[in-house]
Amino acid sequence: MQPHPPAIHPSERGAGSSALPRPPAPILKYRVASKHRELGSFASKLPYDARAIDDRQKSRRTPAMTRLSNLAYHSKYHDTRKAMPDITLFFLQASRAIRPAWALQELGLDYQIEFSERQDKVKAAPPEFKQKSGNPLGKFPTLKDGDLLVHESGAIVE
Amino acid sequence: MSICIAYPTAPRLTSRRYLIDNYDKGHKLLPADKHLRSRTQVFIHAAEGTFMLHGLAILYARWQFPRDAAQQHPEILNELEEKLSVNVQKDFDWLEQELGQSTGQFLVGNQVTAADIMVQFSIEFLLERGLGTKGKSWPKINAWNARCKATETFKAAAQKTGHTLNP
């Protein structure tokens, strides 16, 4: 994953920014966790939108800050360990669920499978499996990433 | 607090474009190039909005057609299926033509993209269940489908999940 940091687009290049490529966006879990530490334990109980926080931070970022964070990213002290996503794919046999499974393989992501056969091999999904997935329509595939549930194979893949 | 007011948390969040948005930073599944990206998106949406839509119309007709009527007058269901097959035939002809125009082994270039991942299941399903295909064969589609299934990533996914269309 993320073998090369993306090159800086000319429009994003601040005045006097260094020639180093911009590091990839930090992984969501880390970003959220660090924001929570800043705000204290009370804030961690509040609803939030991680992307909104990121946009706010971006608007405040000066070229000097960008240069500093780029240097930090490329230094030998940068921690390159990645937080492996906690992904579970609810997989109903003979269904569209093969699409996200193949996409996950293509992206080189690790994932768990919650597998179920159909009732009588060819009919609908067993009710307990529908309930377990948490999908209100009882349809598969359903993908769970941490606390987040995503339905519809098209939406999961895209 | 402003964050709290502006973005009330739903008990369950759903997201469109999940894996690509969050994990495809290298533009593997959705190319970065404008033209290739829109070509990929055409296939992503055609997978459900064209192929599955037209194929499932036939499957649902088979399932829901009153059993007595199907026994007494099988020609009615046959005629219905015949008429519904027109769309599927056109869809497959279109895909055959697109594969002829593709510059690489897959629908968009020489690498697997979200286009292949989405459309391959639809094609496999329609062919396997004989939905509107009328036993016809499309050589480029068959070759592409075989290439998809021969990729290491598809084989790994099929092995890990135990996926089969004929359990």
Max CA separation in chain B (angstroms): 69
pLDDT computed for residue B126 by the predictor: 97
Displacement of CA B51 from its chain's centroid (Å): 6
**Chain B residues whose beta carbon lies within 8 Å of the beta carbon of residue A134:** 12
Contact assignment for B6 to A49 by CB distance below 8 Å: yes
Check residues A74 and B148 and name the one with the higher pLDDT.
Answer: B148
Query: In chain B, positions 106-125, which contact chain A (CB-CB < 8 Å)?
Result: 112, 114, 117-118, 120-121
Query: In chain B, positions 55-94, which contact chain A (CB-CB < 8 Å)?
Result: none
Confidence of residue B34 (pLDDT cuts 50, 70, 90): very high
Mean pLDDT, to the nearest integer, of A61-81? Answer: 65
Contact assignment for B18 to A155 by CB distance below 8 Å: yes
Q: Average pLDDT, whole number, for chain A? A: 71
A and B: number of Cβ contacts within 8 A: 141
Task: Say how far apart CA A140 and CA B9 lie, in whole Å.
Answer: 24
pLDDT computed for residue A150 by the predictor: 85
pLDDT at B139 over 80: yes
Whose structure tokens read 């599927």? B88
Q: Are B161 and A91 in contact (CB under 8 A)?
A: yes
Taking only the tens place, the pLDDT of each residue in A117-130 is 999 988 899 999 99
B34 has a chain A CB within 8 A of its CB: no
Least trusted range by pLDDT, from A14-23, B39-48, B106-115, B119-128 = A14-23
Q: Nearest CA of chain A to the CA of B139: how many Å?
A: 23
B44 has a chain A CB within 8 A of its CB: yes
Q: CB-based burial of residue A153 (10 Å sphere; 0-12 exposed, 13-18 middle, 19+ buried)?
A: buried
Task: Give, rounded to a whole angstrom, the gap between the first and last alpha carbons of chain A.
Answer: 17
Q: Average pLDDT, whole number, for chain B? A: 88
Please state the ipTM of this predicted complex: 0.89
Q: Nearest CA of chain B to the CA of A13: how many Å?
A: 19
CA angle, B54 then B87 then B139, to 5°? 100
Taking only the tens place, the pLDDT of each residue in A13-60 is 454 445 677 776 655 554 444 544 454 444 444 444 444 455 555 566
pLDDT computed for residue A100 by the predictor: 93
Taking only the tens place, the pLDDT of each residue in B39-94 is 999 999 999 999 999 999 999 999 999 999 999 999 999 999 999 999 999 999 99
pLDDT computed for residue B80 by the predictor: 94
The tokens for A115 are: 């597998």
Task: Say how far apart CA A49 and CA A89 lie, in whole Å.
Answer: 24
3-state secondary structure of A145: strand
pLDDT computed for residue B103 by the predictor: 83
Nearest-CB residue to B15 (from A24, A91, A148)? A148
Check residues A132 and A14 and name the one with the higher pLDDT.
Answer: A132
Confidence of residue A155 (pLDDT cuts 50, 70, 90): confident
Least trusted range by pLDDT, from A10-14, B7-11, B78-82, B146-150 = B7-11
Contact assignment for A156 to B23 by CB distance below 8 Å: no
| Torsions phi, psi for A143 (to 5 deg) | -115, 130
Task: Say how far apart CA B147 and CA B149 lie, in whole Å.
Answer: 5
Q: Nearest CA of chain A to the CA of B87: how many Å?
A: 21
Check residues B100 and A4 and name the one with the higher pLDDT.
Answer: B100
Helix-then-strand count for chain A, H and E: 7, 4
B25 has a chain A CB within 8 A of its CB: yes
Task: Say how far apart CA B128 and CA B105 lie, in whole Å.
Answer: 23
